[in-house]
Amino acid sequence: MSKHGNANASLWLRAFRAILVVATFLTAVGAHSASFIESSPVPGGIALVELDATKYPVSKPAPDVTWNGKFIATLLQADSYFALVGIPLSTKAGEHTLSIGQKNSPTSSVNFIVNAKTYEEQHLVIKNKRKVNPAPLDMERINRENKRLKEVKSYRADRLIAQQFDWPLKGIMSSPFGLKRFYNGQARRPHGGIDIAAPEGTPILAPADGLVVDTGDYFFNGNSVFIEHGLGLQTFYAHMSRIDVKEGDRVTRGQILGAVGATGRVTGPHLHWSVGLNATWVNPLLLLPTDLPPPADY
């Protein structure tokens, strides 16, 4: 199902955002724990930045944290608040500054360091040349989809729903996160997720509890699903052969979302799986217990 180009999309988005906020009140006590998230302050990584407990005591509401104009999730861990920062792949190494605001208090700041990281290159050959150099009509569709994607990625439930993450699929990791990609010799955006190769029709499972915030057929991504796991932590599933969930569904860890396919811009059947944090793609391995998916048993 797709709502691309729908004039009522903005109204639907606002209504669904309200649903998200209400639904999160059903979350179990203790769901704020983010012990499953690994801190790795590099481009494409996650920084867990502790806030000064003397300035921001846990006895008061969590402060508002922003970075480069984007909302940053804040978690209560033990006796301190922590900012959960998704770091874009384009970020330069060095010192960066979070802005912190709290009711009836002046805005302050806290610095954190982003360490350098180099990613490898990957060169792919795409037979459908329009998936590399889209026609003008394709660009009209892509621009509509990009506008919608920006809104989808802005969803944020007020509580962390997920309590742990699993791999969504058994198979072989065919492309890791962060690769500098070249299609038919042309440089494109770095790989913002992990590719898992598996036969077409293989079930894709929800890696954690969450809420489905979008499904649709996208030009590059094919049949896709977006899930909000709370506080702007999202997962994205692309190139699916079928979709078994719909917008507004509450999903539980291990639930079938759909199946592996070869829709969109692909070289063969696989799942492209991304993890987003503050509207930024980050390395999914930072949420997983192992660095490789479970071996295939098919």
Q: Please, what are the domains in the chain?
A: 30-114 (2.60.40.1590), 121-287 (2.70.70.10)
Q: Which two tokens stand for residue 78?
A: 């033990």
SS3 136: helix
Around 131, how many Cα atoms within 13 Å sit in the side-chain half-sphere?
Answer: 18
Mean per-residue pLDDT for 170-198?
90
> What pTM was computed for the model?
0.84
How sure is the predictor about 129, in pLDDT bands with cuts at 50, 70 and 90? confident
pLDDT at residue 210 greater than cutoff 70:
yes
pLDDT, tens digit, for every residue of 61-85? 889 999 998 999 998 887 899 999 9
Is the pLDDT score of 128 beyond 90?
no
DSSP 172: E
Q: How many distinct helices (H) and strands (E) make up the chain? A: 2, 19
At residue 33, the pLDDT reads 61
Q: Tokens standing for 19? A: 């649903």
Q: Identify the pLDDT of residue 89.
A: 95
pLDDT, residue 159, reads 86
Question: What is the average pLDDT score of the chain?
Answer: 86
The pLDDT assigned to 188 comes to 77
Instruction: Answer whether residue 116 shows pLDDT above 90.
Output: yes
- Give the tokens for residue 156: 């944020």
